[in-house]
Amino acid sequence: MNVELRHLRALTAIGDEGTITGAAAVLHVSQPALSRTLEQLESRVGVRLVERTTRALSLTDAGQQLYERAHLILRQLDDALTEAAAGVRPLRIGFAWAALGDLTVPLLRTWREAHPGTPVQVYRRDDPEVALRRGEIDAALVRTAPAPGAALEVRSLYRERRMAAVPDSDPLATRPSVRLTDLADRPVVLCATAATTAELWPEGRRPRTFEVANVDEWLTVIATGEAVGVTAEATKQSHPHPGVRYLPLADVPPVTVRMAWPRTPTHPATLAFLGHLQVMTSAQR
C-alpha cells in the first residue's frame, strides 16, 4: 500500500483534534497539504477513513480502527528510538480513578527498591483501555472488565468494598453505612471508570442517573448536592474531598481490581510488575 509515517501522523492528528484546522496546526502544515495527505492515505488503503461535512468531521469505523493502530505504531517507533539512544524506558502504568488506594505508594516504593533500573511512571487516563490500545501505557489498573475482543490480558488482583459518596450536609452523612434503598430516591451521578452502573439497583427501584466524564466532575456534582454516587473503596483514599462523605454500602458485592495489558507486552517488565502487584495485594484477597 506504500503507506508512510506522515500518513499515519496525519490521521492521528485529525482524530485527536477533531478538525483539519486543528490537526494542521499541530503538525505545522497547511490545511490543503493535510487534506491531500489524508486523501492519499484513503486512496492507498482503499476505504474512506474520515467523514467530512460543512459542519462536522468524524472518523468512520475503519478510520477509528486505523487511528488507534496508528497511535500504537507511532508510539512503538518513538519508544524504540528512545530505547536505542537511552536504554529501556520507564514502565507506564495507567489508571482511571483511584489506582490502588492506600496501597499505591507502598507498591511504587517497594518496586523502586526491588527494580532500581526500571522506573515506573503512573498516568491517569479517563479510558485506560483506549490508552492501552494506542500504546500510551503498558498496563492499566481497572475496576471494570475490558470489552470482549479487546486483545488484552487481564488478571484479577483482589476485591474491595463499594462505597456511597454523599454531600457532607446530607442526612445520610451521619450514618455508619447505607444501603442501596437509601439512595434510590436521589439522583445518582455515574462515571464509566467508577465501577458504578444503574444495574446495581433492582428493576423498578433504579434511581434517576446521569453521567459525567471524570472523577473531578463526579466529586463536584456530589459536593454541591446535585447527586450522590457509588464507587470503590480506594476512592476514599485517593480522592478525599471536604464536601464529600464516603460510607460503606452494606448490601452490594465488592469490586474486583484487575491489571490489564496487551497480549504482546509493550514493555519487558510488564509481567514482573504483575508479580509484584500480586505479592503486594495478596493480603487483600
- The pTM of this model reads 0.78
Can you name the CATH fold of 5-83? Arc Repressor Mutant, subunit A (1.10.10)
pLDDT band (50, 70, 90) for residue 278: very high
Mean residue pLDDT across the chain: 90
Q: pLDDT tens digits, residue range 206-219?
A: 899 999 988 889 99
Q: pLDDT tens digits, residue range 9-58?
A: 999 999 988 899 999 999 999 999 999 999 999 999 999 999 987 677 89
Fold identical between 89-157+256-284 and 162-253?
yes
170 neighbors 228 (Cβ within 8 angstroms): yes
- Specify the CATH class of 162-253 in words: alpha beta
| Conformational region of residue 258, where left means phi above 0, alpha means psi within -120 to 50, and beta covers everything else | beta
Query: What are the residue boundaries of the structural domains of the chain, listed by start?
Result: 5-83, 89-157+256-284, 162-253
Q: Which CATH architecture has domain 89-157+256-284?
A: 3-Layer(aba) Sandwich (3.40)
